[in-house]
Amino acid sequence: MALGHPSREATPKWVYYFAAGDSEGRADMSDLLGGKGANLAEMANLGLPVPPGFTITTEVCGLYYRNQRSLPEGLVPQVERALERVGKETGFSFGNEENPLLVAVRSGGRASMPGMMDTILNLGLNDRTVQGLARNSNDERFAYDSYRRFIQMYGDVVLGVDHAVFEDILDNFKNLNGFSFDTELGAGEWREVIAAYKGAIEDSGSAPFPQDTNEQLWGAIGAVFGSWQNNRAVTYRRLHAIPESWGTAVNVQAMVFGNMGNTSATGVAFTRNPSTGANEIYGEYLINAQGEDVVSGIRTPHTLTIKAREEAEDPNPSLEDELPGAFHELKLIFGALESRYRDMQDIEFTIQNGKVWMLQTRSGKRTAEAAVKIAVDLAAEGVIRRDEAVLRVDPSSFTQLLHPTIDPSAEMELLTSGLPASPGAASGEIVFSSDEAERQKQQGRAVILVRTETSPEDIHGMHAAAGILTARGGMTSHAAVVARGMGVPCVSGAGAIRINEQAATLSVGQRVLKAGDIVTIDGATGRVYVGEVPMRQPQLSGDFASLIAWADAAGGLSVRANADTPKDARQARAFGAQGIGLCRTEHMFFDAERILTMREMICATNEAGRKSALARILPVQRADFVELFEIMGELPVTIRLLDPPLHEFLPRQERELEAVAAQLKMPIDKLKARVDELSEFNPMLGLRGSRLAIRYPEITEMQARAIFEAAIEAGKRQGVTVEPEIMIPLVAYRREYDILAGVIRNTADTIEKEAGVRLAYKLGTMIELPRACLRAGDLADGEDGADFFSFGTNDLTQTALGLSRDDAAPILSAYATQGIYDADPFASIDQQGVGELVRIGVERGREKKPTLKIGICGEHGGDPDSIAFFHSAGFDYVSCSPFRVPVARLAAAQAAIRAKLDA
């Protein structure tokens, strides 16, 4: 272990001691002590039974990396003093052969990163202290079992010997000697395994396993700080936007033993059900085991409560059956922790000879469904306020609630079943490795990642997969916890599955499936089906409806939807959209029958030809609008005039060209000439948007007529006034706006005369070019200026960054890795750059017209961070795809609540 140079200045406080009723830390010190350290200190402050220990601060982690992975020297005396205090408190002594103190060394950053960093248990054991432990515990088997666990962990984490080496030794030993379970091995057998472990460490060429307990301790502390930069931790931080600079703390804590026999146990518990949110204790335990046995999925743990046991029809006794006294004490502690933290807690505990010890508490990760239920229940219980409940749910996680579920009326072939580890149903091709999952995802395939069990090395594959299926592991196994956090459907512990990675097959009994075969998993029931199964769309009611009603009451931005079809519009209404913020009319023309007329219009050589084709498009377009207006009732509907370059409607491939030429009864050469004529080097910057409309005003005239006639018809049918909002795309100059507004107004005047009615409508423009932001005052100025702006932040980002939205993908990943972009600027708005243009546009537009209505209809309208920005910039509404409407409603409410709280 390398130590840095001594500092001349007084060393800062780097070590914080904790013990029941006597802690130097507090719950609100997680920046310094990490979440685990701060909460251990807090539990100790509450007088709960916490094994004494100390936390080395996250500051030391920073120093460790700044000093080329060496720890500051001033740390040594602080650790020694704290270790002595732990000894006094426990009555043991570190390194003492008669009465050895054993410690656990664990990581713990500010944000929880479950399983990503390293842990070492039973530290302080060597060939001599193990005998002291055997004498003191009166249990030689326990002492040697603990020692071999320690060598295994230390060998893996500190000395870098692959854990599979140790697992193979143990498996071989058991096979050779006819043992099935670890619990069958006695002290003598463990001694043999220990000798083999030590031999394997020597053979591996690493440093030998240290007998000096101080060397063990510093080796472990260094390794845990080092694990902040291991690959899985780095990936996890990238996926969860956790800054590199935070660092981890290290917790050194007196060991308590769940593996001391049949009145000892270890377990994890949630104070409420993290899958459903039900107010019931939920979790798992193992008798005579240490913590890693539960989370690693190696042994399948049992239920905590009698109720859960009965529901699961589990033949094994629950903790409540087995150790009722300890269970009762835990229940009281859970209540105390929930009142203190005002939230559902995720807890790790150990029972040593009947005595309960608390090892961790933190706010528990939960599914979106559970998050909603818990927030609503806590508000109903009077623990939190309604606006706090709204803040408690992560808007992005709402997409989990929008997961389809399996249609119960569908015919299905059940393959097998496991545990319902993370809700939602998913179909996909099976893959057996995380790298493969990632590769297939990049090629646009939906995959189900199938593993015996997952480990933190699998997170990239779990992220890429549509669903996860594991053969082993309980509801708190790595796969289950991580999948729930990610919102990926997961079935874990499907024990009947046999996986042959080499052959890339999975079998259940005689049934064999190969990589690429399709399965469907149902993370809500744990069932796995062969092939693709029909799904049902989700219903949003109950707690969800309460929460969203509280969110709407917070007075945030209103939320509209981008909807081009009746199906989208119905979905948008079902999700509570307050209007349509963008109807892209071009999407109405891609239908097989309509595109032909559209192509005729585009290929027409003169205005008369175009007008004749447009006359045939008119009734179709009008009927589309009537349907949209009817679905939306009195809610506002913003319709955008045709935007994309015309060649998007024309064929490219030779075969298609031939077919279209035949359909249009046009010589192929003439068609090709027209396609050539329309092709552009930079179509995104070419003949599109308002330019297209100015070039072919008859298209605008037809669209305006379709909109107005539809408004009259839908209004009559429903007995209401339909007031459409017509929007002109890609405007940079006031003159462009005036020319097109003129066409629309003239059309309106004509129709008013024809139909003898007065039309009500609004005219506005998209703001998607930097010039439009800068000259927003011109665009809004006066009676005839725009009534509303809708920021098209897709094009605005493209034009402000000079980065093609269709070619950005490879650039984005390089730019993200090198820290040039914090986030994909097409997904989350670049607040500094594009955001400044947006603010200028809002300010200059409102300066000329204070009543100007302002919205956004780019992709950013469904992104929670961007929504907070639009709130602060003074927008009236955001518009996003229908499935993001609930996300946006919650995000809009949170922005409003936070702004109020900050004020």
Residue 584 main-chain phi, psi, to 5 deg:
-85, 105
Q: Which two tokens stand for residue 813?
A: 């990943």
Q: Is 729 left (phi over 0), alpha (psi -120 to 50) or beta?
A: beta
- The answer to whether residue 636 forms part of the interface with Mg ion (CB under 5 A) is no
Q: Which does 129 bind (CB under 5 to 8 A by kind): ligand PEP, Mg ion, none?
A: none
Quote the least distance from Cβ 830 to ligand PEP, whole Å: 14
461 binds, among ligand PEP, Mg ion, none (CB under 5 to 8 A by kind): none
Cβ nearer to ligand PEP, comparing 338 with 795: 795
As measured in angstroms, the least distance from the Cβ of 240 to ligand PEP is: 28
As measured in angstroms, the least distance from the Cβ of 729 to Mg ion is 6
- Considering only residues 734 to 773 of the shown chain, the ones binding Mg ion according to CB under 5 A are 768
Is the Cβ–Cβ distance between 104 and 252 less than 8 Å?
yes
Q: Is 18 left (phi over 0), alpha (psi -120 to 50) or beta?
A: beta
CB 184 within 8 A of CB 288: no
CA distance 199 to 204: 9
Tell me whether residue 480 or residue 880 sits nearer to ligand PEP (CB atom): 880
Contact between residue 557 and residue 876 where contact means Cβ atoms under 8 Å apart: yes
Q: Report in angstroms how near the CB of residue 876 gets to ligand PEP at its nearest.
A: 16
Strands (E) located in 434-480: 447-451, 467-470
d(C-alpha 343, C-alpha 518), whole Å = 40
- From 478, 647, 860, 871, active-site residue: 478
Q: Which is nearer to Mg ion, 125 or 766 (CB)?
A: 766
Q: Which is nearer to ligand PEP, 401 or 569 (CB)?
A: 569
Rounded distance, CA 493 to CA 475, Å?
8
Query: In the bound complex, what is the minimum distance in angstroms from residue 624's beta carbon to ligand PEP?
Result: 17
What the block records as the tokens of 532 is: 């693709």
User: Footprint of ligand PEP on this chain (CB under 6 A)?
Assistant: 582, 584, 643, 768, 792-795, 857-858
Q: Name the minimum Å distance from CB 732 to Mg ion.
A: 13
Q: Alpha carbon of 616 to those of 390, 432, 593, 885: distances in Å? A: 50, 54, 12, 35
Two structure tokens written together for 877:
């509404």
Q: List the Cα angle 413/418/420 in 5-degree steps.
A: 105
- Give me the phi and psi of 736, to 5 degrees please: -60, -45
CB of 643 to ligand PEP, least distance (A): 6
> Is 478 noted as a catalytic residue in this protein?
yes
DSSP assignments along 380-438, one per residue: HTTSS-HHHHHHTS-GGGHHHHT--EE-TTS--EEEEE-EEEE--EEEEEEESSHHHHH
Compute the distance between CA of residue 71 and CA of residue 67 in angstroms, rounded to an integer. 7
Only one residue has tokens 């009965």, namely 310
Please identify, using beta-carbon distances, which residue of 33 and 641 lies nearer to ligand PEP.
641
Q: List the one residue out of 298, 222, 305 whose CA is nearest residue 269.
A: 305
Tally of residues, the chain: 903
Residue that the structure tokens 């050469």 belong to: 669
Identify which of residues 404 and 686 has a Cβ nearer to ligand PEP in the complex: 686
**AA letter at 158:** V
3-state DSSP of 102-142: CEEEEEEECCCCCCCCCEEEEECCCCCHHHHHHHHHCCHHH
Specify which residues 901 forms β-bridges with.
none
Q: Which is nearer to ligand PEP, 247 or 644 (CB)?
A: 644
Q: Which of residues 331-390 bind Mg ion (CB under 5 A)?
A: none
Distances (CA, A) of 352 to 139, 258, 349: 13, 5, 10
Catalytic entry in 490, 603, 773, 857: 857
> Binding partner of residue 230 among ligand PEP, Mg ion, none, CB under 5 to 8 Å per kind?
none
Six token digits for residue 302? 């049992």
d(CA 598, CA 591): 10
CA distances from 577 to 499, 631, 887 (A): 46, 12, 11
858 binds, among ligand PEP, Mg ion, none (CB under 5 to 8 A by kind): ligand PEP
Identify whether the C-beta of residue 64 lies closer than 8 Å to the C-beta of residue 225: yes
DSSP code string of 275-329: TT--SS-EEEEEES--HHHHHTSSS--EESSHHHHHHHT-SSPPHHHH-HHHHHH
Give the nearest distance from C-beta 793 to ligand PEP in angstroms. 5
Choose the contact partner of 293 out of Mg ion, ligand PEP, none; CB within 5 to 8 A by kind.
none
Distance CA 744, CA 491 (A): 56
372's CB contacts (< 8 A; 6+ apart) are 277, 393, 401, 543, 544, 547
Indicate which of ligand PEP, Mg ion, none lies near residue 857 (CB less than 5 to 8 Å, by partner kind): ligand PEP
Q: Are 305 and 280 a contacting pair, CB within 8 Å?
A: yes
Q: Which is nearer to ligand PEP, 350 or 793 (CB)?
A: 793
Closer residue to Mg ion (CB): 337 or 878: 878
Least CB distance from residue 421 to Mg ion, whole Å? 41
CB 1, min distance to ligand PEP, A: 56
Using the minimum distance from each CB to Mg ion, give the nearer residue, 780 or 856.
Answer: 856
Q: Which is nearer to ligand PEP, 603 or 834 (CB)?
A: 834
DSSP state of 731: -
| Residue 624 burial (10 A CB sphere; 0-12, 13-18, 19+) | buried
Task: Confirm whether 583 is a catalytic residue.
Answer: no
Q: Is 795 in the site for Mg ion (CB under 5 A)?
A: yes
Of 288 and 700, the one with the shorter C-beta distance to ligand PEP is 700
Q: Which of 556, 792, 862, 886 binds Mg ion (CB under 5 A)?
A: 792
Q: How far is the CB of 794 from ligand PEP (least distance, A)?
A: 3
Least distance from C-beta 770 to ligand PEP, angstroms?
13
Which partner from the list Mg ion, ligand PEP, none does 600 bind, CB cut-off 5 to 8 Å by kind? Answer: none
- Beta bridge partners of residue 15, listed in sequence order: 56
- CA of 325: how far to CAs of 330, 345, 346, 357, 468, in Å? 9, 21, 21, 13, 38
Question: DSSP character for 526?
Answer: T
* CB nearer ligand PEP, residue 584 or residue 672: 584
Closest distance between ligand PEP and the C-beta of residue 771, in Å? 15
Reference 185, options 170, 165, 197; nearest CA is 170
Q: CA angle 888-893-897, nearest 5°?
A: 150
Which positions are catalytic?
478, 857
Residues that bind Mg ion (CB under 5 A): 768, 792, 795
